């Protein structure tokens, strides 16, 4: 479903119910352009899991590339100390 932001303001509770209970994705538009989406929380959880997996894959590739170059990892405690955390 796609709605303008003006219509979304008028039907906010309906949009929330459609996402939460109907498992619908609602795309909000302004001046004909997609602006944001209201999605079921299960979709958000899936997106966050995919994001975490991609981050982990990217980190693994970076570690492997550093190892191939003979670079040594830096301990997290040292990085935190240097950053003043």
Q: What is the pLDDT of residues 50-84, one digit of tens each?
A: 999 999 999 999 999 999 999 988 889 999 999 99
- C-alpha dihedral sign at 6, 7, 10, 14: negative
Domain of residue 52 covers 42-72
77 in a structural domain:
no
Say if residue 35 is in the same domain as residue 50. Answer: no
Output the pLDDT for position 73.
Answer: 83
Q: Is 54 part of any domain?
A: yes
12 and 33 housed in the same domain: yes
Note the pLDDT tens digit of each residue in 8-35. Answer: 999 999 999 999 999 999 999 999 999 9
Chain mean position to CA 41? 12
In whole angstroms, give the CA distance from residue 6 to residue 85. 44
Q: Is the pTM of this model over 0.75?
A: no
Taking 90 as the threshold, does the pLDDT of residue 40 lie above it?
A: yes
Q: Is the domain of 31 the same as that of 8? A: yes
In total, how many domains does the chain have?
Answer: 2
Please report the pLDDT score of residue 74 as a whole number: 87
Clarify whether residues 49 and 31 are in a common domain.
no
Question: Which candidate, 19, 59, 55, places its Cα nearest to that of 39?
Answer: 19
Q: Which two tokens stand for residue 18?
A: 């459609």
């Amino acid at each position: 479903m796609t709605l303008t932001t003006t219509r979304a303001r008028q039907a906010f509770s309906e949009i929330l119910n459609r996402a939460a209970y109907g498992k619908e994705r609602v795309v909000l538009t302004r001046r004909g352009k997609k602006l944001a989406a209201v999605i079921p929380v299960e979709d958000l959880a899936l997106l966050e899991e995919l994001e975490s997996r991609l981050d982990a894959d990217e980190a693994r590739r970076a570690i492997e590339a550093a190892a191939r170059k003979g670079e040594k990892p830096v301990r997290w405690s040292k990085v935190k100390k240097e950053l003043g955390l």
